[in-house]
Amino acid sequence: MPTSDAEGKDWSLARFQRHQPRTVLDIGPGEGTYAKLFRPHESDGSGIWWTGIEIHKPYVTKYKLKSTKTRRMYDEIHVKDARQAANHLLHRDLVICGDVLEHMPREDAVALLQRIEQAGAWNILVSVPIVESAQGEVDGNPHEAHVHQWDANDMDQVLALLGGNVEAMHGGTLGVWWWSRRG
């Protein structure tokens, strides 16, 4: 679904505030959960440049993802599959993969995380269900189907292979990870 469970959001916000990224890429923003959560906590008032890559074009309009003069959401939106995104879009201070990696085969998810790291991202936020969470198409969007069921140990190992520093929060429903090039 284009929404996300509340579990792990406070944990994620604390890391966002600690790292204070200047550029953010949100892969699969859906209704804009992370922009809504993080934007009010931008530290110096100068703003952070938010990019979204959304595979399902109707969500851009339905959830009003593009920023306007009266509402800040995403400064730029690309309608595409993140697996085919140009590397320069992945080169950000923070790349968010929030409840999106379960919607692709495991090998595609691992390859995407590796590409994000290789493109020069400084931080990666990952959130995936770590309990059985079967889901099919939602509201005519075939990309909402869950293709791979992650478990916490598997994602721990995948992110450890990227090197860097990994912090994890294994909840009752979601696992949330913050990978960083530096501690």
| CA atoms of 177 and 175, how far apart (whole Å) | 7
CA dihedral 106, 160, 30, 143 (to 10 degrees): 0
Q: Is 120 helix (H, G, I), strand (E, B) or coil?
A: coil
The number of domains in the chain is 1
Which residues are CB-contacts of 6 (< 8 A; sequence separation ≥ 6)? none
70-94 average pLDDT score? 93
Indicate if the pLDDT at residue 108 is higher than 80: yes
Would you state the structure tokens that stand for residue 60, as one six-digit string?
């851009």
21-59 residue pLDDT tens: 999 999 999 999 999 999 988 876 668 999 999 999 998
In a domain, 113, yes or no: yes
Is residue 173 one of the residues assigned to a domain? Answer: yes
Contact 145, 136 (CB under 8 A): yes
Residue 143: is its pLDDT beyond 80?
A: no
DSSP code of residue 43? S
* pTM given for the model: 0.91
Q: Does residue 128 lie within any of the structural domains? A: yes
* pLDDT beyond 80 at 168: yes
Distance CA 150, CA 175 (A): 9
pLDDT (0 to 100) of residue 1: 42
Q: Which range of residues forms the domain containing residue 64?
A: 9-180
The answer to whether residue 2 sits within a structural domain is: no
Query: What's the CATH number where 128 sits?
Result: 3.40.50.150
Any domain includes 1: no
Cα dihedral value 144, 96, 43, 41, nearest 10 = 30
Residue 4 lies in a domain: no
Residue 15 belongs to a domain: yes
In a domain, 124, yes or no: yes
Residue whose C-alpha is closest to residue 152's, from 138, 165, 168:
168
